[in-house]
Every structure is written in structure tokens, then in C-alpha cells.
């Protein structure tokens, strides 16, 4: 038996690898589709939980804001104004009393070189309850004071320093005098 095959009109094709690869890619894409749909459903559930939590927190915020407004209205009344002024004054005194001189000098001992003389220190509390040290220091030369300023700026207990003025040595005062202010990180 003889089968005639004309390859010029019907060339031999290898379709099996293409069909297998296409089937594999189709199954892979279907699996990715299922994965993406399940992730979208999970994300939707989490978003609903998040919205519920946000609503709960917003309700608590509204009640707290209403309570704060009510309390502030009670404090502003004329009969309570005198007591409020007294409370503010006492709190200011307590904040100032809370500054520890021992701790200030211990922290300054870590950053002030031995050849710098601490002439005066004046702590101040600003409106944000931060402590600012206003100091006058003296030294035989300018180099130790510059070293002290560098140490203060690199210390975690002190912040930015500012030199407000300086005076050269005079007949009555043999030291260079610097007026320096620095933020201090002592907690009140």
C-alpha cells in the first residue's frame, strides 16, 4: 500500500509542542486569575474592617472633642477665671521647680572642658515646656570655648547652640567672655 503525500501543498507541521505550551500558559493564566480574584476578595474584607475601625475611632474623637469643649466652656466662665489663673501660675512655678540643678551641672561637666570657666547659668522654660540655658562662660583663649560648643552640639542632652556676644580680655577681667544659649533636653 502506498500513501501519497505531497509536502509542497501540505507541509509537515509540529503542532504538539505548541499545543502543550499553549495549554500550560492557559492553565497558568487561569491560576493567576483565581489568585488575583481571591486577593481582591480578601483586600475587600480588610478594607471593610479598616473602615469600621476608622468609624469607631472617629466616634470616640467626636465624643472626646465634645467633652473637651464642655470642660473648656466651664473653665472660661467668669466665676472660674480666677481659679484658672491661679492654676496656670502654680503650674508654671512647678515646671520651674522641676528643673534639676544637680542634673544641669552633671550634664555640663561632661561637655565643658577643664579650661573653660562657667560664670553664670540661667535656665528658662519656654511656652513649649522646653528648657533653654542662657550661660556666660570664660576662657583664657577662644579655642576651648569652640571645643565646648562642638561638644554641646554633638551631645544628646544639648541641642543647637547660639553665641549671642563675646568680650575680649580687659584689665579687670583676664578672660574671653561668651554669652551662649543652648537648648537642654531635661524632661520636666
Q: Which three cell numbers stand for residue 46?
A: 480588610
Residue 26 lies in a domain: yes
Same domain, 35 and 109: no
Q: Do residues 119 and 137 lie in contact, with contact meaning Cβ atoms separated by under 8 Å?
A: yes
**Confidence (pLDDT) at 29:** 97
Structural domain that includes position 160: 100-184
Residue 112 lies in a domain: yes
Residue 88 lies in a domain: no
Residue 120 lies in a domain: yes
Last residue of a domain, one of 76, 110, 128: 76
Q: Which residue has the higher pLDDT, 1 or 164?
A: 164
Same domain, 109 and 70: no
CB atoms within 10 A of CB 72: 9
Residue 86 lies in a domain: no
Same domain, 64 and 106: no
Residue-by-residue DSSP string for 60-83: HHHHHHHHHHHHHHHHHSHHHHHH
**Confidence (pLDDT) at 11:** 63
Q: What residue spans of 11-142 are helical by DSSP H?
A: 16-76, 78-97, 101-111
What is the average pLDDT score of the chain? 87
Its pTM stands at 0.51
**Confidence (pLDDT) at 159:** 84
Site of grid cell 509537515:
12
Looking up residue 168, the CATH number of its domain turns out to be 3.30.70.2830
Q: What is the pLDDT of residues 41-69, one digit of tens each?
A: 999 999 999 999 999 999 999 999 999 99
Site of grid cell 544659649:
181
How many domains is the chain partitioned into structurally? Answer: 2
DSSP reduced 3-state for 57: helix
Amino acid at each position: 500500500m502506498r500513501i501519497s503525500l505531497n509536502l509542497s501543498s501540505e507541509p509537515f507541521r509540529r503542532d504538539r509542542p505548541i499545543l502543550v505550551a499553549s495549554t500550560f500558559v492557559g492553565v497558568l493564566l487561569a491560576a493567576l486569575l483565581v489568585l488575583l480574584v481571591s486577593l481582591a476578595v480578601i483586600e475587600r474584607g480588610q478594607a471593610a474592617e479598616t473602615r469600621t475601625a476608622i468609624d469607631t475611632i472617629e466616634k470616640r474623637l467626636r465624643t472626646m472633642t465634645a467633652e473637651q469643649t464642655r470642660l473648656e466652656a466651664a473653665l472660661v466662665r467668669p466665676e472660674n477665671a480666677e481659679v484658672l489663673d491661679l492654676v496656670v501660675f502654680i503650674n508654671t512655678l512647678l515646671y520651674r521647680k522641676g528643673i534639676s540643678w544637680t542634673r544641669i551641672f552633671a550634664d555640663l561637666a561632661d561637655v565643658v572642658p577643664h579650661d573653660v570657666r562657667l560664670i553664670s547659668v540661667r535656665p528658662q522654660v519656654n511656652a513649649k515646656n522646653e528648657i533653654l540655658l542662657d550661660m556666660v562662660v570664660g576662657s583664657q583663649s577662644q579655642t576651648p570655648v569652640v571645643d565646648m560648643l562642638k561638644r554641646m552640639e554633638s551631645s544628646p542632652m544639648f541641642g543647637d547652640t547660639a553665641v549671642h556676644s563675646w568680650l575680649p580680655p580687659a584689665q579687670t577681667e583676664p578672660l574671653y567672655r561668651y554669652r551662649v544659649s543652648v537648648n537642654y533636653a531635661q524632661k520636666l
